[in-house]
Structure 1
Amino acid sequence: MGTAADRHLAVGFDFGTTNSSVAVVDGAGQVQLASFPLAGAETQSFRSVLYFEQYQNSEGAKRTHSLTGPAAIEHYLQTDDKGRLVQSLKSHLSSRTLTGTEVFGRRYKLEELVSRMLSDLRKHAGHQFKNDVRHVTVGRPVRFVGAETEEDQEFAVARLRVAFALAGFENVDFEMEPVAAAYTYEATLDHEELLLIGDFGGGTSDFSLLRVGPEVRRRGRTAADLLGNSGVALAGDAFDARIIRKLVSPALGSDSEARSLNKLLPAVPAWIYANLERWHYLSFLRTNNVREILKSARIRALEPEKIEALIAIVEEDLGYQLHQAVQDLKFKLSRDQDAEFRFCGGGMELRIPVTRASFESWIAEDLQAIEGAVDSLLRSSGVEPGAVDRVFLTGGSSFVPAVRRIFETRFGASKIRGGNEFTSVAHGLALRAAEQLRGFGVSWFPSRA
């Protein structure tokens, strides 16, 4: 590939709520995905997490060290004295109220936290591909989590651009994530198709309807080839939250009461359990204020053992373990009609039978929102379901049977395709970057915020 630092490499960068990945187009026009060390092996998915720990240097002064991605997860799991694990930062980009957080006495802006992950990804990709990666095509959702207006969308994009600049990137172009996934699918075609893309991430579900195929590539893309986009700010994280609410929170006292002035009141404020449902807020519960609230609740609670378990979950920062248990349950329910939720940690052990039907009832409102986004896209584009040639689904939640049924019902099971569910966006972004370097085709999304 060459080693010139100033040579523009076609790089696709998928910074995700849960996982991130990087891809490049090599000299032969082939897409290569960056790989990252994990437990003695390699993975192409870089967990979007940031871990801080504090240590004393040889002079006894306290210092803070940070790790990202797979290395952060491994270190966090191996360390008895837990530091601070921060997750799902992408979900905060549209929020004007969450500007940052304090870690070990230092205030970090959100853009700075994100940039630490992006910087490590850039350096790792640069080392693997022997190129100082400075120019990149980046994916963005159709609708950011929490964005209610177009101004919120632009605010999120602007913050993401700042984070990339802090991480050492000099030029950043944005493309819709479902459009990027369409590039991946299009590379397999020898004919033209009207394609609907469903991209299910951790925080958003995004959809695009577009014409793809070798003839489109040959003549050059036009704005008319993209018939429309739609999205909803929920996906895998929302499904996880329902499982936490129904299975975990009750075991941690969400339904428990405490005696106060001869009255029975909720033992713990509901907002603490609401934050427990959101992986990207779990680490933020480790504050003195929350500690005092839980300590008082444990004294007054009629079921103090449940509050004690909640305290352990928060103090031991067991969000990752909870997340893994939930992911395991979702995987089992995608395969079987019945499964068992298992979690052990914080002095508690949960073993709860769950049916697929129950899980689908918990996420019914989320499924309706996804259906609404798909139907809205078809209406706004003036396209009947029968006119869609193929549906390509990507992202982890595309495996959920109830999600797939949304598309099978409208388009027919024979039209559904999938593949490379965790890396297809990065793969397509690299192909899009290669087009941009050749000056080929139009930009379907403004590259400058």
Structure 2
Amino acid sequence: MSACGLDFGTSNTTLGTSMDGAPVLTELEVGHTTIPSAIFYERDGAVLIGRKAIETYVEGAPGRLMRSLKSVLGTTLIDETTKVGRERASFRDVIAYYLGVVKRRAERAVGHELRYVVHGRPVHFVDQAPEADRKAEQTLQDIAQEIGFDDVTFQFEPIAAALDYERGISGEQIALIADIGGGTSDFSIVRLSPEQHRKADRKSDILANDGVRIGGTDFDRQLSLGVVMPLFGYGSEMKRAGLHAPSSYFHDLATWSTINSMYDPKVMTQVRQVRYEAAQPELFDRLVRVLDEQRGHTLAMEVEEAKIALSDQRQADIPLGWIEPGLGAAIARSGLVTHTKQLATRIAARIKMCLEQAELNAGDIDVVFLTGGSVRLAHVRKAIVAALPAAQIIEGDTFGAVGKGLTIEAAQRYGAY
């Protein structure tokens, strides 16, 4: 079958094909059906993606790491260029290179060309900006055709997750699908049943769709600003009474998609000037070291690892001894909640909007199906559950449900191709 389902995620990507009537995710790296949405440009011109890209960066190889590639869709960054090795490339071209490699790996794995794709997409790439949302989808469609797909269609990611969940149910249900990913949080209310599963047209079963541009990377940013960035001068005072250090540098360094902008020579000159005028220049010495060594992604990954660890334990350490001997930060789960509670609240608020759109009450929802890496955050899950206290909670395939659902959709749309 030459059709596939492609889930290009902010944090991870999957691609699936149908085998013997069932969706199967392709092995995109040895032993893995998920591949991190990351790319590393080595200074000698080599380009790596996925785990190898991250490992090479962490090992200290000179070059440029880029993660959370999907988050630039729908923004003005998509057509801007960034330095990669000895060249400059647009973010659009970076995404095209990454997805092109994913497609070729999948084709080698399945043994034939993939010509048709159902691409996953969030309900909203950009909040309350229909034109930017349209351009984001068009950009993905253009890229997909550029890398060799003859036909490209789209499906909302939570609807895809619903199709995967529906394979295992025995009776009709009204389900709310919560897909809390790396870049967005998306919700759908869908009428599901075994009898409807193979129907090509399911429009009448989709009762509501809504979403918000908040995901795991936003939790990383808020945690970084609350715990790590103060160690580098965020919120500190300047020598001149009443002034504080400019905050924009720290926000950019704490945001996955803008970390590389901090390595611009003009920005680094500005940071050194701020250090000269700071009341605590030793804090900015740490910041300058991170920028000189281009290790902003190392900071972000350590914050991300601490966030993930707090899903299972009450406290996590963020080691920063590579910057300064003995430097580090400890974060308790309660601290994570404090710094990100507003994000969890905003995510859960979309459930009420979905219910209103579907003209349903909370008690009408039979099941909440959870997928996406950020549902592992206890306070996010708690906020979702609290909005629908009577519904049964079902855990989905955290990183695979959307990809499998897109593959089911591809088989239905493209038939025997």
Q: Which residue of 2 aligns with 1:111?
A: 92
Q: Is 1:138–1:175's contact at 8 Å kept on the other side of the alignment?
A: yes
- The alpha-carbon deviation at position 188 of structure 1 amounts to 1.1
Q: Hey, what's the Cα distance between the residues in 1 that align with 2:216 and 2:320?
A: 19
Task: Tell me how far apart the structure 1 counterparts of residues 203 and 24 of structure 2 sit (CA, whole Å).
Answer: 28
Structure-2 separation of matches of 1:342 and 1:286: 22
Residue aligned with 1:345, SS: coil
Cα displacement (A) at 1:214: 1.0
- 1:274–1:209: structure 2 CA closer, same or farther, 3 Å change rule? same
Q: Distance in 2 between matches of 1:251 and 1:228?
A: 44
Does 1:265 pair with 2:243?
yes
Structure-2 residue corresponding to 1:10: 3
Secondary structure of 1:154's aligned partner: helix
Deviation at 1:105, TM superposition (A): 5.6
Alignment of 1:37-436 (within 5 A): 37=29, 42-55=31-44, 64-80=45-61, 82-96=62-76, 98-103=78-83, 104=85, 106-144=87-125, 146-218=126-198, 221-259=201-239, 263=241, 265-267=243-245, 269-347=246-324, 349-412=326-389, 415-436=392-413
Mapped contact 2:231–2:283 kept (Cα < 8 A): yes
Is the contact between residue 10 and residue 183 of structure 2 (CA under 8 Å) also seen in structure 1? yes
Aligned residues of 1:18 and 1:48 also touching (Cα < 8 A): yes
CA distance in 1, matches of 2:107, 2:144: 15
* Letter of the 1:163 counterpart: I
Deviation of 1:331 (Å):
2.6
**Corresponding position: 1:19 with 2:12:** yes
What is the match of residue 36 of structure 1? 28
The alignment's TM-score, normalised by the length of structure 2, stands at: 0.93
1:282–1:314: 8 Å Cα contact kept in structure 2?
Answer: no
Deviation at 1:413, TM superposition (A): 7.2
Show CA shifts across 1:131-182 (max 9, x none). 11221111000011x4432111101101111222222222111000000111
* Long gaps (5+) in structure 1: 1-7, 56-63, 440-449
> Quick one: which amino acid aligns to residue 208 of structure 2?
G
Q: Is the 8 A contact 1:51 1:86 kept in 2?
A: yes
Q: Mean Cα displacement is larger for which, 321-330 or 184-193? A: 321-330
Q: For each residue in 1:75-132, what CA deviation from the matched residue of structure 2 results, as whole angstroms up to 9, or x when unmatched?
A: 222344x211112121111113552223146332222111011000000000001011
Q: 3-state DSSP class of the match of 1:215?
A: coil
**3-state SS of 2:187 partner:** strand
Shift of 1:248: 0.7
In the alignment, the residues of structure 2 paired with residue 361 and residue 109 of structure 1 have an alpha-carbon distance, to the nearest angstrom, of 37
- Take 1:302 and 1:147, find their aligned partners in 2: how far apart are those partners? 39
Aligned-partner Cα distance in 1 for 2:86–2:330: 43
3-state SS in 2 of match to 1:258: coil
Q: RMSD between aligned alpha carbons?
A: 2.1
Asked if the contact 2:120/2:406 (under 8 Å) is kept, the reply is yes
Q: Does the CA contact (< 8 Å) of 1:99 and 1:109 recur in 2?
A: yes
Partner AA of 2:182 in structure 1: G
1:425-447: CA deviation from partner (whole Å, max 9, x where unpaired): 111110111111239xxxxxxxx
Distance 1:171 1:328, change over 3 A: same
Deviation at 1:311, TM superposition (A): 1.6
Shift of 1:218: 5.0
Shift of 1:193: 1.1
Identity percentage over the alignment?
29
Q: Distance in 2 between matches of 1:11 and 1:348?
A: 50
Q: Secondary structure at the match of 1:416?
A: strand
Deviation at 1:414, TM superposition (A): 6.4
CA distance in 1, matches of 2:392, 2:311: 20
Give the secondary structure class of the aligned counterpart of 1:259: coil
Distance 2:52 2:134 in 1: 32
Looking at structure 1, the residues matched to 53 and 195 of structure 2 have their Cα atoms a distance apart, in angstroms, of 45
Cα distance change of structure 1 residues 365 and 15 upon mapping to structure 2, 3 Å threshold: same
